[in-house]
Homo-oligomer: A and B are copies of this chain.
């Protein structure tokens, strides 16, 4: 029996370069089904549902949807709200009033948990209803997934940024520290390693939250590289922690937290400045710079992986197909089936919600200050076609005539 009613699609958490591909995948696929009476987009995620702030996407042109698909950040805007029971009852009041029978929420593990709670409520109140979580996060930290839409494009940005920083640092030598997002997972920071083309290319050091950050080892590492090359490029994850699991950034000052209790790690240059000062003060190197990549890495217009675009579109389409054709709930997960191909499955919400995937040990070197080739093998196909690379001059040295 076909379940007739409206679709609501929403976007939660931090924006990505391809989150609108998933939105457009849901909308275009849902609009094909006769039992779908309308396709609504909730403005500002779950907050828009309780406020009945809906766009009627059944009345959006396909042409404009395709243009929105290639626009980064969340076209329906976002929220950090995480519904509790009372919030969920409000959501249901609205869903029932509007005869919403399908709910698609594009987001990370917090959003997956929201879908799980909403779904529980539906079961309890015997309201026939399908809810599907569509994966998205630049942090790449969703369990079960080989990788997550949004990550490949952000990784491409980080890789291209470090290729440039490495060249800049070679031209005007010194120490450069680049601070990358990713919270507790090091995948995004690890993407910097793609810049290592020529033997002396940076980043020479890569620090991840998966390994304890020890100040003395950090300084010894920097000194060793600087003594060898006269320069040092370092990629550091915003979420690096000491041996007790205390984020290094908290050693600075009281930081603000979002409504999920997550620490504010971005939108400040503090961690980079702290590390730069450490190097200056302890190693006596004069030219030490730090860049915090900030919001550019998740919303920069014009740096996108075509593999990521395609997959983000497909997880949206598959979500609509699973829910509408097959009448089942869950979280869409991406599984690698070759080098390089993927398959989409529907996994149980409780197996994804609220959990965090970290870099596996085989992606990190023994000293914990760089990545392995295994990681580069994992990342390379995700960056898609047309990944640029840098070229150096290879001309021979001219003979010196003045014997200096």
Contact = CB atoms under 8 A, between A and B. Distances in A.
Interface of A: 11, 14-15, 38, 40-41, 51-61, 64-65, 67-68, 70-80, 93-94, 97-98, 160-161, 163-165, 167-168, 170-172, 176, 256, 266-270, 272-273, 276, 286, 288-296, 298-303, 388-398, 400-402, 404
Contacts of A289: 266-268, 294-295
B75 A393 contact: yes
The CB with the most chain B CB atoms within 10 A, among A58, A388, A390, is that of A390
A295 B286 contact: no
B54 A398 contact: yes
A171 B72 CA distance: 11
Contacts of A397: 53-56
A172 B80 contact: yes
Contacts of A60: 393-395
A171 to B, nearest CB: 4
Contacts of A391: 64, 67-68, 70-71
A398 B8 CA distance: 12
Contacts of A266: 289
A181 to B, nearest CB: 11
Nearest to A45: B171
Contacts of A272: 268-269
Given A15-B167, A393-B64, A395-B56, A270 B273 contact: yes
Given A269-B268, A391-B64, A402 B97 contact: yes
B269 A301 contact: no
Contact of A171 (B73, B163, B291): B73
A272 B170 CA distance: 27
The CB with the most chain B CB atoms within 10 A, among A40, A75, A167, A298, is that of A167
A394 to B, nearest CB: 6
Given A160-B302, A268-B276, 5 more contacts: A64-B394, A78-B172, A80-B172, A98-B398, A168-B298
Contact of A392 (B75, B273, B291): B75
Contacts of A396: 55-56, 59
A131 to B, nearest CB: 19
Nearest to A93: B402
A398 B55 contact: yes
B97 A300 contact: no
The CB with the most chain B CB atoms within 10 A, among A57, A269, A272, is that of A269
A379 to B, nearest CB: 16
Nearest to A72: B164
B296 A398 contact: no
A236 to B, nearest CB: 13
Given A165-B296, A172-B14, A390-B301, A395 B59 contact: yes
A38 B398 contact: yes
Contacts of A68: 391-393
Contacts of A167: 15, 71-74, 299, 301
28 contacts: A14-B172, A15-B172, A52-B401, A53-B397, A55-B393, A58-B395, A64-B393, A71-B392, A73-B168, A73-B170, A73-B171, A77-B171, A78-B171, A160-B301, A161-B296, A164-B295, A164-B298, A164-B300, A164-B301, A176-B267, A176-B295, A256-B286, A269-B292, A290-B294, A291-B294, A293-B296, A301-B390, A302-B388
A154 to B, nearest CB: 11
Given A171-B73, A273-B270, A299 B393 contact: no
